[in-house]
């Protein structure tokens, strides 16, 4: 899941960037409000973590302008402890949730997962395709009720395909979901991940559609 993080506090931003990445998210971090605002139009983000006090363009203005332009990505706003008025203003401006500072990384991750599930209308605790099951809360995959060991990017790729079942996703879209702008991506990275998933979960688990892209198979 790719997250847009807009936070100008270096300590907080660095902590969220490193922490969320370790938890399996792909994070693009911006410290400027105007740059962060434009970033949402440049990549397929699953959710946004937005601070309100930002240089160039404050968080409330960023959020309001996104909603005016019909951007519907779920937004988790960060507010100062006890700043009730700003929380209310954020929610009134179209935020989906808020979190007061200081906060625990685990809670940020949990809030983001809940927002993304809600946004995708995927509230089931377990996703199944044939004899393969995916548990979103723990990011684990099982086949025939036995846990399968997957690399982090393999888990993310499988989750993306599950959340877009019955859709064909191109290689470019999958790369944009899996990797941030700062990542060095091998030209065959997606093909390698797909190969490993087929080897571990079954050769028919993912279908290649006429060089257009990939979709989950009917297994």
Query: Over the stretch 179-219, which tens digit does the pLDDT of each residue have?
Result: 988 888 888 999 999 999 999 999 999 999 987 899 997 64
Both 29 and 108 in a single domain?
yes
Longest dimension (CA), the chain: 55
- Name which of 145, 147, 157, 146 is nearest 198 in CA terms: 157
Both 19 and 114 in a single domain?
yes
Q: Which of 85, 119, 153 is the last residue of a domain?
A: 119
Q: Give the number of other Cβ atoms within 10 Å of residue 28's Cβ.
A: 20
pTM for the whole structure: 0.71
What's the rounded Cα separation, in Å, for the pair 80 and 97? 14
Residue 137's φ and ψ, nearest 5 degrees, are: -70, -40
Peptide bond into 23 cis (omega under 30): no
Residue 46: pLDDT band with limits 50, 70, 90: very high
Task: Identify the domain containing residue 169 by its residue range.
Answer: 127-216
Q: How many domains does the chain have?
A: 2
Asked whether residue 123 carries a pLDDT value surpassing 80, the answer given is no
């Amino acid at each position: 899941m790719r997250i847009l993080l807009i936070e100008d506090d270096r300590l907080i931003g660095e902590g969220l960037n490193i922490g969320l990445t370790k938890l399996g998210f792909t994070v693009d971090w911006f410290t400027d409000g105007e740059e962060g605002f434009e970033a949402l139009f440049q990549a397929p983000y699953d959710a946004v973590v937005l601070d309100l006090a930002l240089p160039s363009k404050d968080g409330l203005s960023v959020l309001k302008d996104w909603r005016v332009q019909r951007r519907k990505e779920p937004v988790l706003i960060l507010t100062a402890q006890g700043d009730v008025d700003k929380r209310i203003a954020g929610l009134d401006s179209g935020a989906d949730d808020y979190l007061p500072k200081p906060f625990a990384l685990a809670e940020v991750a949990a809030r983001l997962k809940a927002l993304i599930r809600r946004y995708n209308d995927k509230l089931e605790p377990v996703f199944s395709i044939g004899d393969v099951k995916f548990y979103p809360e723990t990011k684990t995959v099982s086949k025939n009720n036995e846990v399968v060991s997957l690399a982090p990017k393999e888990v993310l790729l499988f989750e993306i395909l599950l959340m877009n079942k019955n859709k064909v996703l191109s290689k470019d879209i999958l790369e944009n979901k899996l990797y941030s702008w700062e990542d060095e991506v091998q030209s065959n990275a997606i093909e390698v991940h797909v190969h490993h998933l087929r080897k571990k979960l079954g050769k028919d688990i993912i279908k290649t559609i006429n060089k257009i892209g990939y979709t989950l198979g009917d297994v």
